[in-house]
Amino acid sequence: MNTINELLSALSGIATSPSLLLIILGGVVLGTVAGLLPGIGPSTAIALLLPVAITVPAEVSLPLMVSLYLGAEYGGRISAILLNIPGDPGAIMTTLDGHPMALKGKAATALSISALASFVGSVLAFFGLAFIAGPMSELGLAFGPGAYFAVVVMALVLSATLVGSAPMLGLTAVAIGVAVSTVGIELQSGLPRFTFGSFTLLEGIDPIVAIIGVFGVGEILASTAMSKDFQTVSKLSGRFLPTGLELRQGTLPSLRGSIIGFIAGVLPGAGTTIAAFFSYGLEKRLAPESAGMGKGAVRGLVAPESANNAAVSGSMVPLLTLGIPGSGTTAVLLAYLMMYGLNPGPGFFDANPELAWTIIGALLVSAILGVVINIGASPLLAKILAIPMPFMAPVILILALISCYSIHNSATDVYIALAFGVLGYVMRLVGMSPALLVIGLVLGEMLERNLQQALGLTGGNFWAVISDSLALVFIVIAVLALVSVLPWRRLFGKKATEAKADVTK
Amino acid sequence: MSAKRVTPQSIDDQRADVGSRTASAALSSVVLGFLAVFYVINAFLLPDAAVEEGIGPKTFPLVVGIVLLCTTGLGIIAIVRGGVEVRPVGGQEVLRVASCIVLFGLYTASIFLIGFVEASVIFSMLVSMTVFGVRLSAVRAVGLFVINIVIAMALFLIFDVWLHVLLPVGWLEFWVFGGLQL
C-alpha cells in the first residue's frame, strides 16, 4: 500500500508540475533523436548532458536523463526500420523484421506497431520496477561490506560474460575500467596512485570524462570509416494504424518480450541488447514456419522492441536498490548520482524517497509521451535521419568538448576524453563493449572501498570476507558465470560468436 | 523482395569495405597489451604504506593489474587466433582517425586562442572535408560555413549564456553577445 501511495504521490507531483512535464518531454524528444541517429546512443547523449547536470539540481536533471534513456529506446527502432541500421545497440534485432516490413511498403505500419510494442514493454516494466524496487532496497540493507564486495564482483563478472563476443575481452574491458578507477589519491592512506606528478590526476579520472571519451569521441572515430553515401532511408509508406490482425499477432510476443526484457534488465550488465536478443530468439523458436520470421513478421518486430524498452526499467532495479548498474547507460546514470553526492543502493529510497519515486514516475510519463511523439511525429523524425554523419560528427565532438571542459574549465579533461576516445575506437575494432569499461570504472571504487571495509571488520582475513553466507552465494554465482564461459571453445569466444550468428540467421 | 540480413558484423563490413583484419588485430593487441603491461609495472612501483587492518594502497591495484594482464593476454590470443570478430581497418581509415584526433587536439587548444565559436566553425569545416572526405562547391561551402556559424553561436548561447559554462570568448561572440550585455 505504501508503494502505491508513494507512486501516486510522485505521479501527481509530475502531473501538476508543468516544468517537470516539459523537462520529461524534452528528454523524450532528445532521447528519440539521439536514439534514431546511428552512433549516438543514450549513454553518449546522457554523458553530453553534463553541463546541464552541473547547472540544475538532481530533481530536475535525473528525470531528464531517464526520460532521455527511454526515449532513445523508442528512437533506436526508427533507423533500424528505415535505414536497416540500429540507432542504438538495443535495436539490433529490430532490423531483422522491421526493415523487411519497410521494404514491403509497410514502413509506417512498422513504425507505429513497434512504437506500441515499446509502450507495452515500458509500462509493464514500470510496474515491475515500482513494486520490486522498494522491497529490494530493504533487502539490500542486510548487506554488509563483504556481501557488497561479492555483489560487485558478481555484477562485474556477469557484465563481462553477458556482453560482447568474447568473454575474455569482456573481462579485459571491465578490468581496464577498474584499473582506471584506481587513479588518484587512495582514500585510506592518502597516497597518490598512477598520477605521474599531475595535479589534475590527483582527484582521479572523472567517470563522466571517460564516458564522453569512450562513447562520444570513440563512436565518432569509428564512424570515420562510414561511407558518406551510406545512408539510404526507406520511404515512409503504408498505413500508420496497424490492422486488428497485426495487433493480435503482436499481443503475446509483446507481453513475452516485456517479461524477458525486464528480467534481462535486472541482470547486471545485460541491458537492452541482451533483452532484445533473448526475446527475438524465443519468438523464433515459438513461431511456425509460416510466420515468416526475418521477412517482416510482426512478432519478430514487436518482441525485441517490447524487450529493449522493458529492459530500461529493469536496469533501474539494481541501480536504485543496490547501486549496481544494470546496463551501460545506467552506469552513466550512476556516475551522475555519485557526482550529486547521492548514493544509490540500500537506503536510497529511505534517504531520498521523493527523488527515487520521481525517477520511477518519470519512466511512466516518458513511456506515454514516447508513444505519442513516436507515432505522431514519425514523418518529422524520419527526416532527421537524412542528416549525413559528416555534418553531424563535428557537432557531437563540439558537444563532447563543451561537456568535458565544463567540469573544471580546463582543457586537460578534454585531452583525457580524447585519449579514452582512442581507447574506445580500438575496443570497437575487436568487438569490446565500451559499456563494460564504464561499468568497471564506476564499480571499481565501490569494489575497493567495500573490500577495505570488509577486511577491516575481519582483521584482514580475506577468507572470512567471502565465506559469509550471503557473500558466498554471490561469489558462487560469479564463479559459475566464469566457469560457464571459460571452457574450452568459449574461452576464445568462438561459441559466443556462433551463438550470435545462429540467432541472427 | 528479399530482406538483407543485418548483423553488427555486416554493418561493420559496410563501414569498412576495404581494410585488413590483420592490421586491426595488430593495432588492438598492441594498444591493449601496452595498457596492461604499463599498469602492472606501475602497480608494482607503488609504495606499500603500512596499515593496521585491511589492505594498503598497493595491493588492490596489483591484483587488478594481474587480472588485467591475464585477461588481456588471453584476449590477445583470442584475437590472433581469429576467435573474435575483428573489424577490418584500412590505411585510409587510420589516416582519417589520426587526422580526426589531431584536429580535435588542435581545436581544444585553439578555443583559447581565437575563441569558441571561431574555432568550432573552422573545426567543423575541416572535419567534414578532411576526415569524412566531403567535397563541396564554393557555393555549398559558403552555405555550410554559415550553417556552422549559426550552430556554434547557438551552442555558445545555450551553454555559455544560459548554462554558464565559461567558454572562451572570441570577437564574434563578444560582438553578438557581449555587446548586448546578456
DSSP assignment of A243-274 equals PHHHHHHHHHHHHHHHHHHHHHHHSTTTHHHH
Residue B136 lies inside a defined structural domain of this protein: yes
Q: What is the DSSP letter of A88?
A: S
Residues B59 and B135 in one domain: no
Contact list in B for residue A226 (CB cut-off 8 A) is: 15
Residue B12 lies inside a defined structural domain of this protein: no
What does the pLDDT average to over B54-59? Answer: 78
Question: Nearest CA to A445 among A50, A152, A197?
Answer: A152
User: What is the rounded distance in angstroms from the CA atom of residue B29 to the CA atom of residue B25?
Assistant: 6
> Residues A182, B61: contact at Cβ < 8 Å?
yes
Residue B49: which of A191, A294, A492 has the nearest Cβ?
A191
Q: Which three cell numbers stand for residue A170?
A: 569482456
pLDDT value of position B49: 66
Per-residue pLDDT band at B2 (split at 50, 70, 90)? very low
Q: C-alpha distances in angstroms, A308 versus A12, A85, A378, A427, B152?
A: 27, 16, 19, 24, 35
Residue A224: which of B28, B54, B132 has the nearest Cβ?
B132
Residues B50 and B129 in one domain: no
Residues B121 and B170 in one domain: yes
pLDDT value of position B3: 40
User: What is the rounded distance in angstroms from the CA atom of residue A72 to the CA atom of residue B10?
Assistant: 23
What does the pLDDT average to over A302-321? Answer: 91
What does the pLDDT average to over B47-64? Answer: 78
How many degrees, rounded to 5, is the angle at CA B148 between CA B143 and CA B149? 100
CA distance A129 to chain B (A): 30
Q: What is the DSSP letter of A326?
A: S
Residue B2 lies inside a defined structural domain of this protein: no
Contact list in A for residue B108 (CB cut-off 8 A) is: 401, 411, 414-415, 418
What does the pLDDT look like over A372-395, one tens digit per residue?
998 888 888 888 877 788 888 899
Provide the 10 A C-beta neighbour count for residue B150.
Answer: 11
DSSP string across A202-240: GG---HHHHHIIIIIIHHHHHHTTS-TT---PPP--S-S
- Where do we find the cell 576516445? A421
Per-residue pLDDT band at B50 (split at 50, 70, 90)? low
**Residue B159 to residue A389, Cβ atoms within 8 A:** no
Residue A87 pLDDT greater than 80, yes or no: no
Provide the 10 A C-beta neighbour count for residue A223.
Answer: 24
pLDDT value of position B121: 96
Residue B26 pLDDT greater than 80, yes or no: yes
End-to-end CA, chain B? 58
**Residue A399 to residue B100, Cβ atoms within 8 A:** no
Residues B104 and B170 in one domain: yes
What does the pLDDT look like over B147-174, one tens digit per residue?
999 999 999 998 888 888 889 998 888 8
Residue B172 lies inside a defined structural domain of this protein: yes
Chain centroid, CA A95 distance in Å: 19
Contacts of A308 (CB under 8 A, 6+ apart): A73, A76, A90, A91, A94, A118, A121, A261, A272, A273, A275, A276
Residue B75: which of A168, A179, A497 has the nearest Cβ?
A168
CA distance A411 to chain B (A): 7
Residues B38 and B60 in one domain: yes
Residue B7 lies inside a defined structural domain of this protein: no
Longest Cα–Cα distance in chain B: 73
Nearest CA in chain A to B21: A429
Instruction: Please tell me the number of Cα atoms within 13 Å of A139 on its side-chain side.
Output: 12
Contact list in B for residue A428 (CB cut-off 8 A) is: 87
Residue B72 pLDDT greater than 90, yes or no: yes
Contact list in B for residue A397 (CB cut-off 8 A) is: 104, 107, 123, 127
The mean-pLDDT minimum among A70-74, A267-271, A394-398 falls in: A267-271
Helix (H) or strand (E) holding A192: strand A192-193
Residue A1 pLDDT greater than 60, yes or no: no
Per-residue pLDDT band at A265 (split at 50, 70, 90)? confident
Into how many domains does chain B fold? 2
Residue B6: which of A84, A451, A453 has the nearest Cβ?
A84
Which carries the bigger pLDDT value, residue A2 or residue A73?
Answer: A73
Question: Nearest CA to A88 among A347, A349, A272, A355?
Answer: A272
Chain centroid, CA A25 distance in Å: 20
What does the pLDDT average to over A412-439? Answer: 92
What does the pLDDT average to over B103-111? Answer: 96
User: What is the rounded distance in angstroms from the CA atom of residue A493 to the CA atom of residue A400?
Assistant: 33
> Residues A255, A120: contact at Cβ < 8 Å?
yes
Residues B106 and B173 in one domain: yes
What does the pLDDT average to over B22-51? Answer: 90
Contact list in A for residue B106 (CB cut-off 8 A) is: none
pLDDT value of position A257: 93
Portion of chain A with pLDDT greater than 90, in percent? 29
Residues B72 and B97 in one domain: no
Q: Which three cell numbers stand for residue A291?
A: 510466420
Q: DSSP 3-state assignment of A409? A: coil
Residues B119 and B173 in one domain: yes
CA distance B91 to chain A (A): 11
User: What is the rounded distance in angstroms from the CA atom of residue A427 to the CA atom of residue A437?
Assistant: 10
Residues B71 and B129 in one domain: no
Burial class (CB in 10 A: 0-12, 13-18, 19+), B44: exposed
Residues B40 and B60 in one domain: yes
Classify the C-alpha dihedral B26-B30-B36-B40 as positive or negative. Answer: positive
What does the pLDDT average to over A467-488? Answer: 83
> Residues A361, A133: contact at Cβ < 8 Å?
no
What does the pLDDT look like over A117-163, one tens digit per residue?
999 999 999 999 988 887 877 777 778 888 889 988 998 998 888 76
Contact list in B for residue A92 (CB cut-off 8 A) is: 6-8
What does the pLDDT average to over A91-109? Answer: 87
**Residue A51 to residue B159, Cβ atoms within 8 A:** yes
Type of residue found at A85: I
Residue A267 pLDDT greater than 60, yes or no: yes
Residue A212 pLDDT greater than 80, yes or no: yes
Residues in chain B, total: 182
Q: What is the residue-averaged pLDDT of chain A?
A: 85
User: What is the rounded distance in angstroms from the CA atom of residue B110 to the CA atom of residue A397?
Assistant: 14
Residue A470 pLDDT greater than 70, yes or no: yes
Residue A398: which of B85, B109, B155 has the nearest Cβ?
B155
DSSP string across A347-375: THHHHSHHHHHHHHHHHHHHHHHHHHHHH
Which carries the bigger pLDDT value, residue A360 or residue A42?
Answer: A360
User: What is the rounded distance in angstroms from the CA atom of residue B158 to the CA atom of residue A46?
Assistant: 17
Type of residue found at A491: L
**Residue B97 to residue A230, Cβ atoms within 8 A:** no
What does the pLDDT average to over A10-26? Answer: 92
Per-residue pLDDT band at A288 (split at 50, 70, 90)? confident
> Residues A310, A262: contact at Cβ < 8 Å?
yes
User: What is the rounded distance in angstroms from the CA atom of residue A403 to the CA atom of residue A43?
Assistant: 13
Residues B75 and B100 in one domain: no
Residues in chain A, total: 505
Q: Which three cell numbers stand for residue A206?
A: 572523472
Per-residue pLDDT band at A207 (split at 50, 70, 90)? confident
Residue A490 pLDDT greater than 60, yes or no: no
Question: Nearest CA to A153 among A136, A137, A175, A169?
Answer: A175
Residue B120 lies inside a defined structural domain of this protein: yes
Contacts of A367 (CB under 8 A, 6+ apart): A70, A118, A119, A122, A123, A126, A309
Residue A228 pLDDT greater than 60, yes or no: no
The mean-pLDDT minimum among A44-58, A147-161, A454-468, B47-61 falls in: B47-61
Question: Nearest CA to A413 among A222, A211, A181?
Answer: A211
Query: What domain range includes position B31?
Result: 18-80
Residues B43 and B96 in one domain: no
The mean-pLDDT minimum among A177-181, A465-469, B11-15 falls in: B11-15
Per-residue pLDDT band at A46 (split at 50, 70, 90)? confident
> Residues A150, A475: contact at Cβ < 8 Å?
yes
Burial class (CB in 10 A: 0-12, 13-18, 19+), A198: exposed
What does the pLDDT average to over A286-291? Answer: 81
Residue B123 pLDDT greater than 70, yes or no: yes
